């Protein structure tokens, strides 16, 4: 089912391509909000994106200087993957429009001031829930490299090592030095992780461990097997203002730029002729 924007058709192939592009991020977002993915909603989001892209392109072509032929050819050469599937005459038109869109976006962003110290501090003070480091685990590991032929043997050796640790035949420091293939590089330090940062099955197993406990043999991918020890459990902590000040400045500026772009799109939609077939 096609959509027309000021007489320009957005066809079904374009809509399906945008749905495919959005699918993964869309599914992740709605699940994080406690909802289930909905095909009709995803399609609506895809169509809305394409409408906004067309309106922004039209506005840029109408208001921005036409780039030189040399710049257009350089754009096509530099970003060939964007243009290879288009006929040659459309390549030039699309490249020219893309350059004009970048100019328009630059113009919009140039008009957005960086947030001042007072605005940043007020945002920090009124949104304390956003500035908390989540619960985390500091992890140590014994890591063994493997290949398809050695996996079963290495797995058995790791089980024996876990048994020796449980019986007190070997302590963790000795296990790291004598048995970890990566000790000389990482000294047994795996990572400090928050929830959601480990592969699913490993995530569940490791977060069930208490401080000082060692996991069963875990496959984290990358052709390795691991015994993982929880060194420390870090409780959620409020981030101090000076620690996040620079990131907050960038975040608030990006949000202000996005708000300006959305306001411009609202203006364009208000006068556009949009036909949904």
What proportions of the chain, in percent to the nearest 5, are helix, strand and coil?
A: 60, 15, 25
Evaluate whether 3-113+251-276 and 134-237 have a shared fold: no
Please identify, in words, the CATH class of the domain defined by 134-237: alpha beta
Going through the chain in order, the beta strands assigned E by DSSP cover: 3-5, 8-10, 132-133, 136-145, 189-194, 218-221, 224-234, 237-238, 274-276
d(CA 61, CA 101): 7
- Per-residue pLDDT in tens (0 to 9) along the chain, 277 residues: 679 999 999 999 999 999 999 999 999 898 888 889 999 999 999 999 999 999 999 999 999 999 999 999 999 999 998 888 888 888 999 999 999 999 999 999 999 999 999 999 999 999 999 999 999 999 999 999 987 678 889 999 999 999 999 999 999 999 999 999 999 999 999 999 999 898 888 999 999 999 999 999 999 887 899 999 999 999 999 999 999 999 999 999 999 999 999 999 999 999 999 998 7
Q: What is the pLDDT of residue 75?
A: 95
Helix (H) or strand (E) segment spanning residue 15: helix 12-32
Distance CA 67, CA 37 (A): 42
d(CA 165, CA 156): 14
pTM of the model: 0.71
Q: Which CATH class is domain 3-113+251-276?
A: mainly alpha
Cα separation of 143 and 203, whole Å?
A: 17
Which residues, other chains included, contact 78 with Cβ-Cβ below 8 Å and sequence gap of 6+?
A: none
The span from the CA of 110 to the CA of 145, in Å, is 51
Contact 204, 228 (CB under 8 A): no
* pLDDT for position 1: 67
| Contact assessment for residue 3 and residue 12, using Cβ atoms and an 8 Å cutoff | no
Residues with Cβ within 8 Å of residue 147, at least 6 apart in sequence: 223
- For 157-215, give the DSSP string: HHHHHHHHHHHTSS-HHHHHHHH-TTHHHHTTEEEEEETTSS-HHHHHHHHTPPTT-B-
Taking the alpha carbons at both ends of the chain, their separation in whole angstroms is 6
Domain ranges of the chain: 3-113+251-276, 134-237
Q: CA of 60: how far to CAs of 55, 69, 96, 215, 275, in Å? A: 9, 17, 10, 57, 21
Which residues share a beta bridge with 143?
226
Q: CA–CA separation, 151 vs 81, rounded Å?
A: 40
Q: What is residue 173's predicted lDDT score, i.e. its pLDDT?
A: 96
Instruction: Give ∠ CA 256-262-264 in degrees, rounded to 5.
Output: 105
């Amino acid at each position: 089912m096609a959509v027309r924007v000021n007489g320009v058709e957005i066809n079904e192939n374009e809509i399906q391509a945008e749905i495919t592009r959005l699918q993964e991020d869309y599914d992740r977002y709605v699940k994080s909000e406690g909802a289930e993915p909905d095909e009709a909603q995803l399609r609506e989001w895809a169509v809305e994106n394409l409408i906004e892209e067309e309106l922004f392109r039209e506005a840029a072509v109408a208001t921005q200087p036409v780039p030189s032929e040399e710049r257009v050819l350089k754009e096509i050469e530099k970003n060939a993957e964007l243009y290879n599937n288009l006929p040659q005459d459309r390549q030039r038109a699309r490249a020219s429009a893309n350059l004009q869109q970048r100019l328009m976006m630059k113009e919009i962003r140039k008009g957005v001031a960086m947030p001042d110290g007072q605005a940043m501090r007020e945002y920090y003070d009124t949104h304390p829930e956003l500035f908390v480091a989540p619960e985390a685990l500091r992890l140590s590991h014994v890591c063994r490299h493997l290949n398809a032929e050695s996996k079963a043997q290495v797995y058995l050796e790791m089980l024996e090592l876990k048994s020796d640790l449980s019986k007190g035949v070997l302590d963790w420091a000795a296990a790291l030095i004598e048995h970890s293939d990566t000790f000389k590089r990482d000294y047994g330090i795996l990572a400090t992780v928050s929830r959601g940062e480990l592969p699913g099955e490993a995530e569940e197993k490791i977060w069930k461990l208490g401080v000082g406990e060692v996991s069963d043999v875990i496959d984290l991918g990358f052709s390795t097997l691991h015994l993982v020890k929880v060194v420390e459990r870090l409780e959620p902590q409020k981030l101090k203002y000076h620690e996040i000040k620079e990131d907050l400045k960038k975040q608030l500026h990006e949000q202000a730029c996005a708000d300006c772009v959305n306001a411009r799109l609202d203006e364009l939609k208000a006068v556009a002729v949009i036909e949904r077939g």
